[in-house]
Amino acid sequence: MLDPTASPTTSADPPVDPAARNRAHPAERPVYVIGGGPGGLSVAYALRTRGIRAVVLERSDRVGASWRGHYDRLHLHTTRRLSGLPGLPMPRRFGRWPARDDVVRYLEKYAEHHALEIVTGVEVSRVERSPDGTGWLLHATGGRELTGAAVVVATGYNRIPRLPEWPGRAAYTGELLHAAAYRNARPYAGRDVLVVGVGNSGAEIAVDLVEGGASRVRLAVRTAPHLVRRSTLWWAAQQSGVLVRRLPTGLVDRLARLLAPLTAPDLSAHGLPRPDTGLMSRARQGALPVQDVGLVDAVRQGRVEVVAAVESLEDGKVALADGSRIAPEAVIAATGYDRGLEGLVGHLGVLGPDGGPAVGGARTPKGAPGLYFTGFTNPISGMLRELALDAVRIARAVAKEHGGRVSRLPG
């Protein structure tokens, strides 16, 4: 494993004393990028194109760790053409909707192709201002203290699985797991399964269970989602998202309401009525439309049964909001994730009420110049597309604001 202070040329380079690096002139400090996913890799490349040394710190042993942990059947809901990162398009052989394993291979190739400087097995636990006030001090595993001219936090939107504190959860004896631990339907063949949550992950897992032979699949829904077709007459839903992303929220809500009968059938008779709130209003709050990859047909055919939201777990049963009680053999909670930024940067006053960064992209929080965040929103125009755009903006901002204080690549 490379030392974070080593040269990018080879893992055999002689180690450098971290303390000596911290005493170095500010102009010798790199930009540290925390996180080796698509956001971190794209920022590192964009900085490299400007001659700025960027060091990616990844806590796992490989890039793209979060993508490796997704369920087997996952495909992007965004098109290959609009999901490539800067400097390297996704290969045509991936098809229009790249699979999980294709995305992982792409991230590996991306890091190799651009010769990015990546240090694995290093987790940053805290970021604070450097003692001299000219940069940022990172506290990392192994007692490392690394000083950078700037820091880009790219630890990801889906970092820490969120499992609701349902009453009775601690004493619940049934099988209960978060969707982050779900891989495929094989362990659930012939079993009665409840999926909690009807975001894109919950919807796709429910379909996967049906197709994988589960004897019964129920989907617990608290708030009915907006359902859209992933593609209509070869026009991808993402393309619509790109077109409307900067339009007024109310206008997009009205347009979506008018087009809803053309994009997805009304499932009110099956427990999924059309939402009262607008599509863009919900998207601005982080609740993206559910792209149909089989859920509509499964619900209409009765293979996925929509039930009320989960209220509590008691006596081995699940109590629902409508007063009913069911006894599934397994409960899979597709209930979202937390950003997990409080310990890392919470003391700096840079987080919003939801635990995410108050600002992101090329903007830095007030009082924290040189601290950037990327990948902490879930835009209707596509996460990977926006990460790619963010990377270029962040690199431009770093070059402009901190160009005289960053270490430069040879040549």
144 in Cβ contact with 119 (< 8 Å): no
Q: Do domains 18-159+339-402 and 161-333 have the same CATH topology?
A: yes
Q: Tell me the CATH class for 18-159+339-402.
A: alpha beta
Q: Is the pLDDT score of 232 beyond 90?
A: no
Report the percentage of the chain scoring pLDDT > 90: 80
- Rounded Cα gap, residues 156 and 341, in angstroms: 10
User: Closest by alpha carbon to 216, among 274, 338, 303, 109?
Assistant: 303
What pLDDT shows up at residue 26?
A: 61
Tell me the pLDDT of the chain averaged across its residues.
91
- Reported pTM: 0.89
Rounded to the nearest 5°, which phi and psi values hold at 401?
-90, -25
What pLDDT shows up at residue 183?
A: 97
What pLDDT shows up at residue 303?
A: 97
Which CATH number is associated with domain 161-333?
3.50.50.60
Q: Is the pLDDT score of 13 beyond 90?
A: no
- Rounded Cα gap, residues 106 and 297, in angstroms: 32
b/e burial code for range 230-250 (CB count within 10 A of at least 16 → b): bbeeeebbbbbbbebbeeeee
What pLDDT shows up at residue 11?
A: 34
Please write the tens of the pLDDT for every residue from 170-222: 999 999 999 999 999 999 999 999 999 999 999 999 999 999 999 999 999 99
User: Closest by alpha carbon to 148, among 308, 350, 371?
Assistant: 371
DSSP 37: S
What pLDDT shows up at residue 6?
A: 41
Report the percentage of the chain scoring pLDDT > 70: 93
| Domain edges within the chain | 18-159+339-402, 161-333
Q: Nearest 5°: CA angle at 159, between 154 and 160?
A: 150
Please write the tens of the pLDDT for every residue from 338-358: 999 999 999 999 999 989 999
Q: Is the pLDDT score of 243 beyond 70?
A: yes
